Amino acid sequence: MSRVIVAGSINVDLVATADRFPRAGETVPGRTFAQYPGGKGANQAIAAARAGATTAMVAAVGDDDHGRQMRTYLSASGVDCTGVRTHPTLPTGIALITVSAGENSIVVVPGANGSLAASDLDDLAFAPGDVLVTQLEIPITTVAAALQRAQRHGAITVLNAAPMLAEVQSLLAHAHVLIVNETELSALTQTQIDQDAASHLVAQAADALRQRGLPTIIATLGARGAIVVGESTWFELPGRDVAVVDATGAGDCFVGTFAAALTTGGTIKAAAQFANVAASICVQRPGAGPSMPTREEIEAAFRG
């Protein structure tokens, strides 16, 4: 059976809600505070597992309560944590998140995530049909090693270029699918793309990027949905009209459920449609990891 294998970050999210984001040097009163499982890698692994895929993770946590809590949570969510290493001195990664009006602002302290090395992939076996998912919250050299190893063994490689780093340009030749939001697409193409940009302009920017050797680009556009650009065509997936509670983790939900759908042998279009619906469920709940929907929930939303 094909698997989703996630090489990425594990964080604990410390989330405060407020009426608005503070300006530089300003303190604003918060409304609520909560602690959630997070990290782009962990979120994507949980999303894939809950969407029905056999899922494993390669990552690093600290030898601390946060690390033990995340191992327990990932395992309970159906993620194989055999490849999650414990660093003896560095802490588990932390994300400080402010949420206001459904949008978020995030500061990430990588901790043990920054220690994940290419050698940590040595025991990782890929097979044709497997899907590798990786992002940029671990060292770029480790991301490159994971992509190249997966590619050599016939796995599908999905790169989520977040958070944006200039070095990502060197990774593009090793990705079968690149998933970016409008900010990341703008940075990679040096064009002005935002959530209000006309669809054909988003598609043009993505196609310019695709011509560097990428088979497929997916631009996620928040409430607008997503645009998928392939070799000979592009199509738009409209956003679903839902009440947004917290957008944290929505992009990760899209990535993880997209990968899960690919393991069943579906097309890029079908996988993206599945992921688009899943992300619309995710934003209706607080937190990242806990907001990831199950396969049954996603299929019910399709039918609805």
Q: Please list the active-site residues.
A: 252
Can you tell me which residue has the tokens 């088979």?
215
Question: H or E element: which one contains 55?
Answer: strand 54-62
Contacts of 300 (CB under 8 A, 6+ apart): none
What is the Cα–Cα distance from 207 to 35, expressed in whole angstroms?
A: 39
From the number of C-beta atoms within 10 Å of its C-beta (0-12, 13-18, 19+), residue 76 rates as: exposed
Helical ranges in 57-181 per DSSP H: 65-76, 140-152
Structure-block tokens of residue 151:
């590619």
Q: For 127, phi and psi rounded to 5 degrees?
A: -130, 155
- How far CA 169 is from CA of 132, 145, 172, 212, 239, in Å, comes to 18, 15, 6, 10, 29
Buried b (16+ CB within 10 A) or exposed e, 237-260: bebbeeeebbbbbbbbbbbbbbbb
Residue from 204, 228, 198, 199 nearest 216 by CA: 228
CB atoms within 10 A of CB 217: 29
Q: At 78, is the secondary structure helix, strand, or coil?
A: coil
Tell how strand 131-134 and strand 156-160 pair up: parallel
- Tallying the residues shown for the chain, one arrives at 304
